[in-house]
């Protein structure tokens, strides 16, 4: 058996899983199966969304380089009608961390010859030059940052679907439902021998790739020291045809302290607004270590399992504040949909793409730890995960011994959903 004929089982068909299936198939791997509770694009994936930001600003050169590679791929015909290169403004009210991030990001792009699309902006007049849709905004004279023409948004769920469709065309199999929902690992000593699924079946393979995103620590609790699952919130506003036409092709607008929003969706004319904060956790997971000590950790509370959930009231208020500041013409309008989106943070915000250290044979590859900044890499992340399948690992994405860094997000307390409440069904679409 050659390496390319080995049986590969990918668990999770969100951003990492779909991209890996696509890239492995493109490399000539012939025996790939993806499993997920849901048909692709997986409903529980952070990428199951109407839009996500595609940007190249990173204070870390590794990701700046990858994001530049990704945006080239986003421009290819595969993503026509999915990627919209509207440009964006990235601003702050003056938070020193955000200002530093902006400076370093600019330097990284400049060093790569990619600064010609950038202009610095400060105050309402300069911002409105690039984003005329902000002409009614209040109090944005204190916004400072940059305009970058090389950025935009992608219809995230459609993008994952496209990548998985292309993988299917190359022969990748997809299993969903109880036969696709992982419930545990089957092991023998220090070897992984299978993946147990809800139906009771066990899937066997030569190589297992765990790309289960925010569900990773819930599935393998020992990962709770490596991964911290958190959710972020959004609200949707429905525009009329006429309003939507005024916002059509609007650049993405992000303010570090307040949040961000996108042009209306092409189907449904929905504007998505996200507030910025350090994320919420749900510490319902419990894990007892070898010494009998119990640890609590955060596990996702997916909307698919809790369809009555909305978002915490304080998040709703932050979204309303964003509206009354940035697009006050919509103040008071009903927020039709409000949802959370689950990601999983590593201590230093690097991805986790490494073999599970408990299984020295290397048959279990972890490909997770999005750290809230992975969707934009959809077209290319699977290439890096495929490299890891072939033994080529990036040291930054290793397991263990990571420094805990400040997330860089505004605020510092990661509140628990049980303390802040999860809103109600009235907040949902």
The whole-angstrom separation of Cα 182 and Cα 197 is: 4
# residues near ligand FSA by CB under 6 A:
10
Contacting residue, 274, 299, 354, 380, with ligand FSA by CB under 6 A:
274
Q: Confirm if 67 and 79 have CB atoms less than 8 A apart.
A: no
Cβ proximity to ligand FSA: between 55 and 320 the closer is 55
CB of 138 to ligand FSA, least distance (A): 22
Min separation Cβ 323 and ligand FSA, Å: 17
Closer residue to ligand FSA, CB minimum distance, 232 or 399: 232
Q: Which is nearer to ligand FSA, 55 or 144 (CB)?
A: 55
Per CB under 6 A, the segment of 10-18, 280-288, 372-380, 415-423 that binds ligand FSA is 372-380
Pairing of strands 364-368, 207-210: parallel
- Alpha-carbon distance of 20 to 22, in angstroms, equals 5
C-alpha to C-alpha distances, 137 to 89, 133, 142, 392, 421, nearest whole angstrom: 14, 9, 12, 49, 30
* Nearest residue to the partner ligand FSA, using Cβ: 372
Distances (CA, A) of 203 to 218, 324, 351, 365: 19, 52, 26, 16
Taking the least distance from each CB to ligand FSA, the nearer of 15 and 31 is 15
Identified binder of ligand FSA from the candidate list 22, 276, 367, 417, rule CB under 6 A: 276
Q: Is residue 39 at the binding interface for ligand FSA, with CB under 6 A as the rule?
A: no
- Nearest alpha carbon to residue 312 among 410, 228, 230, 232: 232
Q: What is the DSSP string of 72-127?
A: HHHTSGGGTTTEE---EEEEESS-HHHHHHHHHHHHHHHHTT--TTEEEEEHHHHH
Rounded to an integer, what is the distance from CA 269 to the centroid of its chain? Answer: 23
Count CB neighbours of 149 within 10 A.
15
Among the listed residues 283, 333, 373, 394, the single contact to ligand FSA using CB under 6 A: 373
If one asks whether residue 257 binds ligand FSA (CB under 6 A), the answer comes out as no
Listing DSSP states for 285-308 in one string gives EEEE-TTS-EEEE-----TTT-TT
Q: Which stretch binds ligand FSA (CB under 6 A): 102-110, 215-223, 368-376, 396-404?
A: 368-376
Give the three-state DSSP class for 143.
Answer: coil
What x-and-dash track marks residues 288-327 binding ligand FSA by CB under 6 A? ----------------------------------------
Q: Is 232 in the site for ligand FSA (CB under 6 A)?
A: yes
237 close to 335: Cβ distance less than 8 angstroms: yes
- With binding defined as CB under 6 A, does residue 272 bind ligand FSA? no
Cβ proximity to ligand FSA: between 25 and 214 the closer is: 214
Asked if residue 134 binds ligand FSA (CB under 6 A), the reply is: no
8 A C-beta contact, residue 353 and residue 365? yes
Q: Which of 402, 403, 344, 409 is nearest to 370 (CA)?
A: 344
Task: Give the shortest CB-193-to-ligand FSA separation in angstroms.
Answer: 35
66 near ligand FSA (CB under 6 A): no
| Strand ranges inside 198-325, DSSP E | 202-203, 207-210, 228-238, 252-255, 259-261, 270-275, 285-288, 294-297
Among 23, 37, 55, 339, contact with ligand FSA (rule: CB under 6 A): 55
Within 83-102, the residues that bind ligand FSA by CB under 6 A are none
Report the residue from 53, 118, 157, 299 that binds ligand FSA according to the rule CB under 6 A: 53
> Minimum CB separation from ligand FSA for residue 374, in Å?
7
Angle of CA points 160, 53, 299, to nearest 5°: 65
Is residue 351 close enough to count as binding ligand FSA by CB under 6 A?
no
User: CB of 197: closest distance to ligand FSA in angstroms?
Assistant: 29
Q: Which residues would be at the binding site for ligand FSA (CB under 6 A)?
A: 53, 55, 232, 274, 276, 343, 372-373, 376, 409
């Amino acid at each position: 058996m050659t390496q390319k004929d080995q049986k590969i089982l990918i668990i999770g068909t969100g951003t990492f899983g779909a991209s890996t299936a696509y890239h492995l198939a493109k490399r000539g791997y012939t025996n790939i199966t993806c499993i997920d509770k849901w048909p692709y694009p997986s409903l529980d994936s952070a990428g199951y969304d109407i839009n996500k930001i595609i940007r190249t600003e990173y204070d870390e050169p590794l990701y700046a380089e990858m994001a530049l590679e990704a945006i080239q791929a986003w421009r290819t015909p595969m993503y026509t009608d999915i990627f919209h290169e509207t440009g964006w403004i990235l601003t702050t009210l003056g938070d020193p961390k955000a200002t530093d991030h902006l400076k370093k990001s600019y330097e990284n792009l400049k060093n790569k010859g990619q600064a010609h699309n950038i202009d610095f902006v400060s105050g309402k007049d300069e911002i409105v030059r690039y984003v005329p849709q902000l002409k009614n905004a209040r109090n944005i004279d204190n916004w400072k940052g940059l305009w970058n023409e090389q950025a935009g948004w992608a219809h995230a769920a459609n993008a994952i679907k496209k990548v998985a469709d292309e993988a299917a065309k190359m022969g990748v199999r997809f299993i969903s439902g109880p036969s696709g929902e992982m419930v545990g690992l089957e092991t023998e000593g220090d070897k992984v021998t299978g993946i147990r699924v809800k139906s009771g079946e066990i899937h066997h393979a030569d190589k297992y790739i765990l790309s289960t995103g925010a569900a990773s620590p819930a599935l393998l609790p020992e990962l709770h020291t490596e991964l911290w699952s958190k959710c972020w919130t959004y609200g949707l506003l429905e525009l009329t045809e006429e309003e939507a036409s005024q916002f059509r092709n609007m650049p993405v607008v992000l303010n570090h302290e307040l949040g961000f929003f996108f042009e209306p969706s092409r189907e449904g004319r929905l504007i998505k607004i996200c507030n910025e904060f350090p994320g919420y956790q749900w510490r319902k997971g419990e894990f007892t270590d070898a010494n009998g000590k119990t640890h609590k950790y955060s596990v996702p509370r997916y909307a698919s399992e809790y369809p009555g959930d909305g978002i915490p009231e304080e998040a709703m208020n932050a979204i309303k504040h964003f509206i009354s500041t940035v697009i006050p013409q919509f103040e008071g309008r009903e927020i039709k949909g409000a949802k959370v989106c689950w990601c999983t943070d590593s201590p230093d915000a690097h991805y986790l793409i490494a073999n599970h250290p408990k299984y020295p044979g290397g048959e279990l590859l972890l490909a997770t730890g999005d750290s809230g900044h992975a969707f934009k890499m959809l077209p290319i992340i699977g290439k890096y995960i495929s490299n890891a399948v072939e033994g080529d690992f990036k040291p930054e994405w290793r397991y263990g011994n990571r420094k805990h860094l400040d997330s860089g997000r505004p605020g510092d307390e990661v509140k628990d959903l049980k303390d802040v409440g999860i809103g109600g069904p009235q907040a949902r679409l």
